């Protein structure tokens, strides 16, 4: 792992910086690189623009590790209201959230009840859609301390709701085993590289090894897409990896409309448009909310060259 990536990830965990950095004007200006604003209304404006290009979206309200269940109730109520707003916009928008937003650090049972209320309403409101496909509600994976608990949670909720998706991280050694164990549940998977600071005894330290494991997991997922018609999304901005995945899909005769890429708002928008124009499924993740600092620093750490891009756009 590069020194600059290590520094940025360390900064993402700083309580002091989390409190003070968001008030700095040039940081808030640079934030526009990755999110349209702090409100869902700002997200809707961008969703409408992307919809004209045939690109649907996923929404996540930023925040993690809430301290009490009152905060969890507020997050739950926000998503319940958001679902009504999505319906009124008549746009293809899915939702994605972290379990620690819903009280995972405090009560797994309350977290389960909160998530169940959200996905239950999403199914009732959003699945009567003109877009013809079942709407997925996504669980974001967090740091490795939560990995096993999150997978256990996913298996439990999958018994009640088929259309719930889970994020898996290619930089963890354990992910191949996790995927093998999940296949019988017909999972919906979003495969990412991983954005948290993890020790070398549980995560690949070098980018090359992460990329190799990502592609290996992608091959397994594409096989399952073809044979069992499960949904999987390849969440990466790495053009070399995307090219390898597309070539592999051609080799195994996987149709374009079965291959889905998910990318972050503001990152390689031309590539997003190109993939959608070429007939691949593309879905853009739009983040919003006031609690953006840790997420923002992890986005910079994913590709430290983004720091220079941000500075260039400020000055």
CB-CB contact of 189 with 2 (8 Å):
no
d(CA 171, CA 214): 8
| Catalytic member of 92, 140, 178, 238 | 140
Would residue 190 show up in a list of annotated catalytic residues for this protein?
yes
| Catalytic member of 190, 231, 283, 299 | 190
d(CA 109, CA 282): 34
d(CA 96, CA 86): 13
Would residue 70 show up in a list of annotated catalytic residues for this protein?
no
| Residues involved in catalysis | 140, 190
């Amino acid at each position: 792992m590069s020194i600059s990536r290590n520094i940025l990830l360390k900064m993402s965990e700083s309580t002091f910086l989390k409190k003070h950095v968001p008030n700095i004007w040039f940081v808030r200006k640079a934030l526009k690189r990755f999110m349209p604003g702090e409100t869902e209304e700002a997200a809707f404006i961008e969703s409408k623009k992307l919809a004209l290009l045939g690109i649907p979206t996923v929404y996540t309200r930023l925040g993690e590790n809430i301290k009490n269940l009152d905060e969890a109730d507020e997050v739950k109520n926000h998503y319940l209201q958001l679902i009504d707003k999505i319906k009124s916009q008549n746009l293809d928008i899915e939702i994605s959230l972290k379990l620690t937003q819903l009280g995972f650090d405090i009560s797994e049972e309350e977290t389960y009840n909160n998530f169940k209320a959200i996905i239950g309403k999403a199914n009732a409101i959003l699945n009567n859609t003109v877009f013809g496909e079942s709407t997925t509600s996504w669980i974001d994976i967090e740091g490795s301390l939560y990995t096993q608990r999150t997978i256990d949670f996913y298996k439990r909720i999958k018994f009640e709701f088929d259309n719930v998706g889970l994020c898996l991280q290619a930089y963890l050694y354990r992910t191949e085993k996790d995927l093998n164990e999940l296949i019988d549940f017909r999972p919906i998977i979003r495969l990412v590289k991983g954005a948290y600071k993890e020790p070398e005894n549980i995560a690949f330290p070098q980018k090359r090894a992460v990329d190799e494991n990502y592609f290996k997991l992608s091959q397994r997922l594409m096989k399952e897409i073809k044979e069992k018609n499960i949904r999987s999304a390849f969440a990466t901005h790495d053009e070399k990896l995307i090219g390898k995945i597309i070539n592999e899909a051609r080799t195994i005769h996987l149709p374009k409309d079965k291959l889905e890429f998910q990318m972050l708002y503001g990152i390689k928008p031309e590539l997003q448009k190109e993939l959608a124009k070429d007939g691949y499924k593309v879905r853009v993740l739009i983040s919003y909310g006031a609690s953006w600092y840790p997420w923002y620093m992890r986005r910079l750490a994913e590709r430290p060259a983004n720091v220079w891009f941000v500075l260039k756009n400020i000055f």
